[in-house]
A and B are shown apart, each in its own frame.
Chain A
Amino acid sequence: METKKIAFLGTAEQEAELLAAIDDMRNLPGALMPVMQKAQEIYGYLPIEVQEIISDAMDVPIEKIYGIATFYAQFNLEPKGKHQISVCLGTACYVKGSQLIFDEISKQLGIGEGGCTDDRNFSLSSCRCVGACGLAPVMLVDDDVYSQMTPGRVEEVLAKYA
């Protein structure tokens, strides 16, 4: 499933907070990074809409902002859900059918790899071996490990975090 563009849910309050922060920092030498860090703190990530606000308010070309946002590992261009699901697609889990688990979650939540649900509750990713091959197939929700998963149990696990 292709990851669809996640709707931008920024509020007027968030924008006001960001603009106020930009006004505070405007005269700081090299202010762009601190502004972007502040923006990520306010919105949780840096979608193109937020980059545009910064670009307009600071009079900096958007490609420069995008260049910085993609250079540093800490800036996220996609939102993260409240709960982060990762399904192990390492060899041991894979041969025990973890792809089916992944597909089932993907189907139930309507998101693909790297995606986030519209209500921002879940984001989904696959990962390589988590070192629990004896428990295969394994999925994680945040720090909770679910072992010997079956597609039938997906609904029950997701319900705990709904």
Chain B
Amino acid sequence: MTDNIITSLADTSFYKIQRRIALKNCGVIDPENIDEYLAMDGYMALHKVLTEMTPDDVIQVMLDSGLRGRGGAGFPTGLKWKFAKGYDAPQKYVCCNADEGDPGAFMDRSVLEGDPHVVLEAMAIAGYAIGSSQGYIYVRAEYPVAVKRLNIALQQAREYGLFGKNIYGTGFDFDIDIRLGAGAFVCGEETALMTSIEGNRGEPRPRPPFPAEKGLFQSPSILNNVETWANIPQIILNGADWFSSVGTEKSKGTKVFALGGKIRHTGLVEIPMGTPLSTVIDEIGGGVPNGKKFKAAQTGGPSGGCIPASHINVQMDYEHLAEIGSIMGSGGLIVMDEDNCMVDIAKFFLTFTCDESCGKCTPCRIGTKRMLEILDRITSGKGTMEDIDKLEDLAYYIKDNALCGLGQTAPNPVLSTIRFFRDEYEAHINDRHCPAAVCKELFHYVVDPDKCIGCTQCLRNCPPFAITKTDYIAEGHKLPSVKIDNDKCIKCGACIEKCKFDAISKQ
């Protein structure tokens, strides 16, 4: 509110700069009521392709639109469809990747929960284009609401005759089966996902053959991510030119980011490709809170990298993010401030990928483990300068030799933090000091004896009894200050929480 005038939500800085295409209906329609989707031109795109377009027309529109995969890799969607159409087979499959596994990304969940029909409609369009009558949605079991709404949507679409046999009386058949994931990050990789749908351990397969030739059940298949699907009906209705007018030369359309971390306004942000990162952080996100300084933004989750303050004006599109060693990824965008240790962040992501490595190929299974051991050494103050070189050697080896996308990108967080925050690695190694005071063995708590009034709240709450009284009484105080014995201190932080006088700090 400004001067008693209530600003419309759409006019707030959070929404004003956004351009909502994939999220058009999210939060606008009732996702459990197909009539509301129909009122927003729902299933009109499917009607249009079935009655006015040939499969080749549809693929041409997709190619012209310049839509690229929103799951992260950015492969042109139309090209994928064209390849799959080119193979003759009695059965082909259309798959939807809804196994959103990146920690900190939730755009696919929002589309599935807020606008499930858009995914169904888009998949049917793809089915017509490549010549398939069967789709699969592979959705993580951790999203029960999404699963429920997808099932409701499917049921309603079948009742309306928009799914199943002889859709719109054109003789085109299409239906979808929903399969639940079971908690394996690697199943977000396309061949692993298909292996999992087939009822196996979700391990990736070597490519070629690519899924467009031999995918699910050894048949030609396409796999697109939820956000990619969400763009498609509007591209069909509004035309390729409309879509390609948004974005940059090589990255068309918009991208949804899940903005989180040390930022004032968090949430889903859909922006035209090429929007500078600074616009997202300062204008949409409202900047870093608590007077702290922006240190880095992390994109692409465990497969991505960190963008430092010196690159805050980078354009958010596939090419520019790749240029600075990060990736678009599925859209996680985590903001970090001066209190985050970049070595610790690298270790966090590598712990994740090491844990989620399926174990099929050696570079990923053993390589990530060795890298993690080195990072453990560095963050506990036992690293050497050679360790940085070893990390880089291993990282490039794994990138070049791992079987699938998980392994090939797992070293990215390490490489990008070494590239932009080498000084932090060096401080951990040479000075045995963690500048952000995160790595427990590389900082300590100190008491400022002039601020300490001797209340002994900290002393009484210290689990290992590491705090004792001194003889020193500061001017104006009545009781002696305390001190911390660093040999006994376990860095639990209980003292700093209890101190009301700001007398204890990390150094």
Determine, out of A2-10, A16-24, A88-96, A119-127, the stretch whose residues face the partner at the interface. A88-96
Q: Chain A interface residue count: which class? A: 20 to 34
Asked if B431 CB lies within 8 Å of chain A CBs, one says: no
For residue A73, CB closer than 8 A to chain B, the reply is: yes
Contact partner, A96, options B177, B201, B202, B463, Cβ 8 Å:
B463
Residue A45 is within 8 A (CB to CB) of chain B in the complex: no
Interface of B is mostly: loop
A39-71: which have CB < 8 Å to B?
Answer: 64, 67-68, 71
Tell me whether B84 is interfacial, beta carbon within 8 Å.
no
Query: Smallest CB–CB gap between B297 and chain A, Å?
Result: 25
Task: Bin chain B's interface residue count.
Answer: 20 to 34
User: 1/0 contact trace for B422-436 toward A, CB 8 Å?
Assistant: 000000000000000
Residues A30 and B197 in contact in the complex (CB < 8 Å), given A91-B490, A133-B492, A133-B493: yes
B199/A136 in contact, CB under 8 A: no
Quick check: A33 and B464 within 8 Å, CB to CB?
A: no
Which of B182, B493, B494 is within 8 Å of A33, CB to CB? B182
B-side contacts of A29, CB under 8 Å: 198, 217
Chain B residues, Cβ within 8 Å of A96: 463
B179 on interface, CB distance cutoff 8 Å: yes
Rounded to whole Å, the gap between the CB of A7 and the closest CB of chain B is: 26
Across-interface contacts of B493 in A (CB, < 8 A): 133
Report A-chain residues with C-beta under 8 Å of the C-beta of B463: 91-93, 95-96, 133, 136
Given A67-B201, A134-B497, A75 and B179 touching (CB < 8 A)? no
Chain A contact surface mostly: helix
Give the Cβ gap from B302 to chain A, nearest Cβ, in Å. Answer: 16
A11 beta carbon closer than 8 Å to chain B: no
What separation, in Å, do the CA atoms of A32 and B201 have in the docked complex? 11
Q: Which of A129-153 contact B (CB under 8 A)?
A: 129, 133-134, 136
Any A CB within 8 A of the CB of B184: yes
CB closest chain-A residue, reference B184: A72
List, in ascending order, chain B residues with CB within 8 A of A106's CB: none
CB neighbours (8 Å) of B182 from chain A are: 33, 37, 72-75
Cα of A141 to Cα of B177 in the assembled complex, Å: 39
Residues of chain B contacted by A91 (CB below 8 angstroms): 463, 490, 492
Q: Which residues of B contact A (CB under 8 A)?
A: 141, 177, 179-184, 196-202, 217, 358, 461, 463-464, 490, 492-494, 497-498
27 examples of A-B residue contacts, CB within 8 angstroms: A29-B217, A31-B199, A33-B180, A33-B197, A37-B141, A68-B199, A68-B200, A71-B184, A72-B181, A72-B183, A72-B201, A73-B183, A73-B184, A74-B141, A74-B182, A91-B490, A92-B463, A92-B464, A92-B494, A95-B464, A95-B490, A129-B492, A133-B463, A133-B492, A133-B494, A134-B492, A134-B498
Sort A-B residue pairs by CB-CB distance and give the 5 closest, nearest first. A73-B183, A72-B182, A133-B492, A32-B199, A30-B199
Q: A92-B464, A134-B461 are in contact. List 12 more A-B contacts (CB 8 A).
A: A33-B199, A34-B180, A64-B200, A68-B201, A73-B184, A74-B182, A74-B183, A95-B463, A133-B492, A133-B494, A134-B497, A136-B463
Q: Chain A: residues with CB nearer than 8 A to chain B?
A: 28-34, 37, 64, 67-68, 71-75, 91-93, 95-96, 129, 133-134, 136
